[in-house]
Amino acid sequence: MPHAVQRRPLRADAQRNYDRIVSAARDVFARDGAEAALKEIARQAGTGSATLHRLFPSRRALLEAVFHDRVEELCAMAARRAEESEPGPALLAWLADLNAYASASRGLAASLLHGSRDADLLEQNEGCQAMITDAARELLRRAQQAGAVRPGVRAEDLLALVNAISLATEQHGDDEQAGRLLDIAIQGIQGRAA
């Protein structure tokens, strides 16, 4: 668990608020999207808005907390794909997993998987984004070694592409198109002789 976040335990009531907020955030994000009102989340959680801001210093921190479990699943899935299939197919299958997840969550996880570089968010990079990038890097390394994916492609590129596709098709709401775009991306990373 190289990326588990070290945190001293919260006082009992703080922990209760933490859980309530994450639970409310799950619902409200699902209903209103990633730009949902934080005040609404605090309201739904029955907590003061300042409590939310203390426990989660940024919108991103809250999103990380909400999607942490699913990101772990995706990492576990990466390991399983690597065991079950040859390097090339393993990567492609996992990209499909990633895309399914991204479009199922209506692009919610997009900002997580790809991430930004806002100054105050640098420390958060040890969270979901690092986990998923590591998983992608390992699958990609094997696929490139096997010649199934052309060199020059980076793990960050793969995440950015899936992220980009789900961002762009989210507003548009066209799942078929998302499929075609992923197809194009997959064709694009494969070696000429694949």
16 binds a copy of itself (CB under 8 A): no
Say if residues 162 and 99 touch (Cβ distance below 8 Å).
yes
Nearest to 78 by CA among 126, 25, 36, 137: 137
153 binds a copy of itself (CB under 8 A): yes
In angstroms, the CA 149 to CA 189 distance is 6
Q: Considering only residues 117, 119, 151, 175, which one is a binding residue for a copy of itself as defined by CB under 8 A? A: 117
112 binds a copy of itself (CB under 8 A): no
**With CB cut-offs between 5 and 8 Å by kind, which of a copy of itself, DNA, none does residue 80 bind?**
none
Neighbouring C-beta atoms of residue 152, cutoff 10 Å: 8
- CB-based contacts of 134: which residues, under 8 Å, 6+ apart? 2, 3, 75
Q: Considering only residues 30, 86, 116, 145, which one is a binding residue for a copy of itself as defined by CB under 8 A? A: 116
In angstroms, the CA 161 to CA 95 distance is 10
**Token pair in block for residue 50:** 């300042």
Residues 53-82 that bind DNA (CB under 7 A): 53-55, 58-59
**With CB cut-offs between 5 and 8 Å by kind, which of a copy of itself, DNA, none does residue 10 bind?**
DNA
In angstroms, the CA 49 to CA 62 distance is 13
Q: Least separation, in Å, of the C-beta of 159 and DNA?
A: 25
Q: Considering only residues 1, 2, 7, 11, which one is a binding residue for DNA as defined by CB under 7 A? A: 11
Q: Least separation, in Å, of the C-beta of 52 and DNA?
A: 7
Residue 190 phi/psi, 5-degree rounding, is -75, 150
141 binds a copy of itself (CB under 8 A): no
Binding residues vs DNA (CB under 7 A): 10-11, 13-14, 16-17, 36-40, 46-51, 53-55, 58-59
